[in-house]
Amino acid sequence: MNKEVSGTYNAIDLFAGCGGLSKGFMDAGFNVIVGIDNDKDALNTFELNHKGATALQADLSKQETFDEIKKIAGDRNIDVIIAGPPCQGFSLTGPRNFDDERNKLYLAVLEMVRQYNPKGFIIENVPGMATLYKGEIKNEILKRFRAMGYNVECQILKACDYGVPQMRKRLIFMGIRKDCGMPSFPKPLFGPETERPYRTCRDAISDLPTRVDSLGEEIDKYSGEPITEYQKLMRKDCDILHNHVATAHKDFVIETIAQVPEGGNYKDLPAGVGESRKFHMAWTRLDGNAPARTVDTGHRNLFHYELNRVPTVRESARIQSFPDDFVFTGSRTKQNRQVGNAVPPILGQVLGKKMLEIFTGEK
Ligand SMILES: C[S@@+](CC[C@H](N)C(=O)[O-])C[C@H]1O[C@@H](n2cnc3c(N)ncnc32)[C@H](O)[C@@H]1O
């Protein structure tokens, strides 16, 4: 991509959270003008890590929010809308009630596309959305955006296919205005269809201080050099370690998880141990030699592959492909929520690059 093109495409991020998707689009060369979310803590993190972008705390179900966005965008052309509406925002009342009040958050994306008529848009959601009501909700979304003059497709993408050390799957809608081209999804760069193996949990975090003896500090030092290519990529020039504070678990948690082998779960526990948690993800220990299970918002069911504790925020952030200079703010609970809610920046980046490729015709 030539320099003139880079940075000249403006984007707005709806339901921006801490800004994983925005970070990816910025890394791809987009100029993110504003990120909107109603969560103050997530927006503090967004503001700290997205220089040049405005963080707008507002409710996207309210009409006046669109006026506030307009004030910030001014007369700038908006080329792309990116959005990660929360899945709870989708009512389960069925496709016939698409205009139901409870779907307002999805309708906010439609409204923004109607107002700005961007060259393209991306909507991210959980894979379950694809099969909700036998796919009728998904089809309704496709139909509505198509009726607005967009070529729209959706696909479930696996983050590990693009170099994120995590098996996270997400449903991605890509819309391209009819005069700007056709949507197409990035091809896997890692995994069995390629020459590069998936990045693993160990590839991602084995250089970080183990935090067995000490709980760590919010601002700390690395204990050694990066080992893998991915660790180097995540550290870049960062020489301060942030958000690497270990959780102090109760003795019974430590004693229980100590009995689960790498890659195992509650099924590996002896009878009578850990029975208070028995659902399918209970007492899961990561497999260090595979991409991680999906990082959640801090439910404390997914444990480190070697240590008897859950990953620190920094470890989860690495697994989500946030570089080490991306700092999370707020309480640890809030930090975990921000990380778990996010689109992995590397996934956002490949999507952003793909859109630029479609708009410019340049690879
Ligand atoms: C899945 S997260 C988005 C993550 C984000 N795309 C990222 O990559 O970091 C959904 C976000 O929607 C926000 N949200 C929920 N209801 C909202 C509303 N009514 N108005 C604005 N934001 C809302 C939540 O605070 C949350 O941060």
Segment 323-343 shows an average pLDDT of 97
> By alpha-carbon position, which residue is closest to atom 2 of ligand 1?
341
Please give the residue that has the higher pLDDT: either 190 or 301.
190
Structure tokens belonging to residue 88: 């709870």
- Mean per-residue pLDDT over the chain, rounded: 92
Active site (catalytic) residues: 87
Pocket of ligand 1 (CB under 6 A): 15-21, 37-39, 42, 59-61, 84, 86, 105, 341-343
Contact 203, 196 (CB under 8 A): no
Q: What's the gap in Å between 176 CA and the centre of ligand 1?
A: 23
Residue 139 to residue 149: CA distance in whole angstroms? 16
38 CA distance to ligand 1 middle (Å): 7
**Which residue owns the Cα nearest ligand 1 atom 27?**
17
Is residue 39 scored above 60 in pLDDT? yes
* Average pLDDT score over residue span 145-171: 98
CA of 317 to the centre of ligand 1 (A): 18
Tell me: pLDDT of 3 over 90: no
Which atom in ligand 1 lies closest to the alpha carbon of residue 23? Answer: 8
d(CA 246, CA 84): 29
264 and 288 Cβ atoms separated by less than 8 Å: no
Cβ atoms of 80 and 120 closer than 8 Å: yes
pLDDT at residue 1 greater than cutoff 50? no
pLDDT at 134: 86
User: Which comes out higher in pLDDT, residue 310 or 105?
Assistant: 310
Share above pLDDT 90 across residues of the chain, in percent, rounded to a whole number: 79
Q: Report the amino acid identity of residue 219.
A: I
Q: What is the pLDDT of residue 100?
A: 66
pLDDT tens-place string over residues 64-110? 999 999 999 999 999 999 999 987 656 555 566 667 666 778 889 99
Residue 4 pLDDT class (50, 70, 90 cuts): very low
Residue that has been written with the tokens 């955006």 in this structure? 145
Q: What is the structure's pLDDT at 6?
A: 47
Q: Is the pLDDT of residue 8 over 80?
A: yes
Q: Which residue has the higher pLDDT, 261 or 4?
A: 261
* Range with lowest mean pLDDT among 11-25, 121-135, 308-322: 121-135
Does the domain spanning 10-191+343-360 belong to CATH 3.40.50.150? Answer: yes
pLDDT in tens, 160-175: 999 999 999 999 999 9
Q: For residue 171, list its beta bridge partners.
A: 125, 156
pLDDT digits (tens, 9 = 90+) for 188-237: 999 999 999 999 999 999 999 987 655 777 788 898 999 999 999 999 99
Residue pair 274/283 in contact by the 8 Å Cβ criterion: yes
The residue whose C-alpha atom lies closest to atom 26 belonging to ligand 1 is: 17
Q: What angle do CA 217, 320, 218 make, to 5 degrees?
A: 10
Count the residues in the chain. Answer: 363
pLDDT at 357: 97
Q: Model-level pTM?
A: 0.95
How much is the pLDDT for 254? 94
pLDDT of residue 275: 82
Q: Which residue has the higher pLDDT, 42 or 136?
A: 42
